[in-house]
Structures are given as structure tokens and as C-alpha cells.
Chains A and B, each alone.
Chain A
Amino acid sequence: DAGVTQSPTHLIKTRGQQVTLRCSPKSGHDTVSWYQQALGQGPQFIFQYYEEEERQRGNFPDRFSGHQFPNYSSELNVNALLLGDSALYLCASSFKGLANEKLFFGSGTQLSVL
């Protein structure tokens, strides 16, 4: 049983560019959440997708957008990259029917903005 998979593992971009990160949820999971983890900090909630719709959003600007596909996989898009966007981006999947919707994380995409 494959867990949560994310691609790419590492990415280097320059300011102003756009980036797309991808996530495949754990088998049987229907919900995908994205988190940003800055160095030495805890994960910060970006948004959650369920049934191909954004269900909840954290305190992130509109430069951060996402999508969920019919197979439950998801993309995170960040436009007009800033130096401060450099972080580990984590995808977590869960199942709506499970108590407290326990999160299972992927290994993340390390984004560096130069």
C-alpha cells in the first residue's frame, strides 16, 4: 500500500516564477490538505480539497491555489514566487469518514526560491 507520494522532491525557482507541486493521496483517502513548513517551524495549513473543491483555507494569499482531480490527486500552484515562499511543502491525505480525519503526510517538496 503506497503512502502519500509527492513530486518533485526538490525544486529551485527564481523570484516571480510559478511552480506546481503534485500529490497522490494514500490509497482509500479522499481528502488532500497542503501545508507549508518553514525551517524550524511547524506545518502551517494552506488549504484542503475534498470532492474536487477547496473546502477550507488558511492565511495564505491568492498566489497559492490548488486543484483536486477525480482520482483524488492534487496540485498546489504558487504564482509570483517570493523569497519567503522557500519552504518544505507537505501534502497530507485523510478520509472524511474517519474520526478526526487522521492526517498522513508525504515526504514533501523542498522549494527554494532564489
Chain B
Amino acid sequence: QQQVKQSPQSLIVQKGGISIINCAYENTAFDYFPWYQQFPGKGPALLIAIRPDVSEKKEGRFTISFNKSAKQFSLHIMDSQPGDSATYFCAATFLTSGTYKYIFGTGTRLKVLA
């Protein structure tokens, strides 16, 4: 019940296209949903995040869409660029024993073709 299921495992998009990555969860105690971007040899870096009281959040070319009733959220990358090629992780957090616990998805490897 603490899992976050992420799909697809890998994604190939043409330059200028839209990349869409989906995540689903079961635990209604989750109250914060961040997305992390990881380049090879680096640690994950926070990209964008959303709280469940908001249905959409946009930062530049990155948008999170959140569907609370379906327990799903997705990352949209508009006008995808070769520099966006990386692995993307969704995550969900909840408060337990006085601290926030992060549960990560399994990742999506995105390749944007020039």
C-alpha cells in the first residue's frame, strides 16, 4: 500500500515533442508528490512538486497533473529537448512518527532525440 507505481519504464521522444510519465498510488496518507530528475553519475534533483489540494502545477516546460480521485499524477514535459534526457522518478511522502517518509517510483528513462 506504500508503493508508487510508475510507467513507462522507458520513453523515447522526438525533440519538440511532449513527454508524459505517469504514477499511481494507493495510500491516501500521501500529502506531497515531488518529481526528481537524475542524470547519470548524479543524485536525483528536485524538479517540481505538487500537493493534493491542487490539480495542476506548471513550472516552465514542466507540468504536474494530479487526479486525487483516481490516485494518479503525471509529469508532462512540453517541447522536450535533448538536455531533458535523464531518468525521472516520481515520489510520494507522508508523515509518520514525526518525520516525512519518501516512497519513490521505479523511474522512467527518457531519451529525447535531436
Could you list which residues of chain A lie within 8 angstroms of chain B, going by C-beta atoms? 4, 31, 33, 40-45, 48, 50, 55-56, 90, 92, 94, 96, 99-108
13 contacts between A and B (CB under 8 A): A31-B99, A40-B107, A43-B89, A48-B99, A55-B98, A56-B99, A100-B34, A100-B93, A103-B34, A105-B45, A106-B43, A107-B41, A107-B42
Q: How far is the CB of B107 from chain A (nearest CB, A)?
A: 5
A107 contact set on B, CB distance < 8 A: 41-43
CB–CB B44/A105 < 8 A:
yes
B104 contact set on A, CB distance < 8 A: 42-44
B1 on the A face (CB < 8 A): no
Task: List 19 other contacts, CB 8 Å, given A45-B102, A90-B43, A107-B42.
Answer: A33-B102, A40-B106, A40-B107, A41-B107, A42-B6, A42-B91, A42-B105, A50-B99, A55-B98, A56-B101, A90-B44, A92-B43, A100-B93, A101-B100, A103-B46, A104-B46, A107-B41, A108-B42, A108-B43
